Amino acid sequence: MRHGIASVREQLWLLGHDDYGDLRPVIDRRALGIGLAAAALVDLLLQGLIEVKHGLICRSSEALDDPGVYRTSEALGLADDPIGSEILSFLGRGPAPRLAEVLRESRAEPFGTTRTPFQRMYRRTRAGLVKAGRLEEEHRRLLPNLYRLTNSTVIPAIRGQFNHRLAMYHKAGADLAMDSLLALVWALNLHSKLPMPYSPSEADPILLAITDQIAGTAGTGSPLTVVPDLAHLVRNTIGDLATAAF
């Protein structure tokens, strides 16, 4: 992986921004926040730490007994992730939340004392990228802080992998992490803002086909079989933004 970022969530955050100047989002930040919440779940699904049963998100039997500890997958190459840790802890404390409700809750800012680990995902992912040295933060007294890439090749490298997979769409995907990233890009309609070898209207059915074949590629019993449903839920949740009250 040329860019060295294994987290689907962090790759999605970076794809959701231009790579000029102060990294402006190319889609609505609320929509991107919903996608990032879904991507955080994908990262845990890839490690086998959670599963979705009958629409409910549960810790898998492979998760550690201590709900406050986040176990990384050496094969996946992820560093310790406080967002993943918080989600696992949250799942260990109460009844299993419904996937659709988690996505709906992620689109709004916390109100009062009611908050979940799926909220404020945009800012928390950005903070993690700053801590990891991927972004540089410039503090300003009277204006919002500015953020810049510490390595200007990171976003183009992620886009390059995205476009390579798009061009090779006819082949079954062996990289389920990349296909899951493409599924979320499709769900957010983010591809309409990315430089691609296809027009957005040409890419849309290709991305949908890649999304829907993930379950078959993952195989029966894999927690990743839920990813196509997750992507469709993200798309539907974003469609509700126009009528949502904030």
Q: Which domains, from first to last, does the chain contain?
A: 8-243 (1.10.3630.10)
- Give the pLDDT score at 94: 83
pLDDT of 80: 67
Q: How confident is the model at residue 141 (pLDDT cuts 50, 70, 90)?
A: confident
pLDDT at 61: 73
DSSP letters, 29-87, are HHHHHHHHHHHHHHHHHHTTSEEEETTEEEE-TTS-SSTT-PPP-TTTTPPP-HHHHHH
Pick from 162, 129, 151: which is nearest to 7 by CA? Answer: 129
* Predicted pLDDT of residue 68: 45
pLDDT at 156: 95
**Rounded to whole angstroms, how far apart are CA atoms 8 and 148?**
20
Confidence (pTM): 0.89
- The pLDDT assigned to 215 comes to 94
Could you give the CA distance from residue 211 to residue 216 in angstroms, rounded to a whole number? 10
Q: Higher pLDDT residue, 22 or 133?
A: 133
Residue 114 β-bridge partners: 111
Q: Which 3 state secondary structure label does DSSP give 111? A: strand
Burial of 211 (0-12, 13-18, 19+ CB in 10 A): buried
Instruction: Find the mean pLDDT for residues 24-29.
Output: 94
pLDDT for residue 224 = 96
- Sorted by sequence, the CB contacts under 8 Å of residue 7 that are 6+ apart come out as 39, 43, 78, 81
| Cβ-contact 87, 40 below 8 angstroms | yes
Residue predicted with more confidence, 240 or 226: 226
Residue 203, number of CB atoms within 10 A of its CB: 21
CA atoms within 13 A on the CB side of 106: 30
- What digits encode the pLDDT tens for the residues 145-199? 899 999 999 999 999 999 999 998 887 667 999 999 999 999 999 999 999 999 9
Residue 12: name the closest of 126, 117, 109 by CA. 126
Q: Is the dihedral of CA 73, 74, 77, 81 positive or negative?
A: positive
Task: Identify the pLDDT of residue 110.
Answer: 54
pLDDT tens column, 67-114: 444 444 443 334 468 999 999 999 998 899 999 999 998 876 655 446
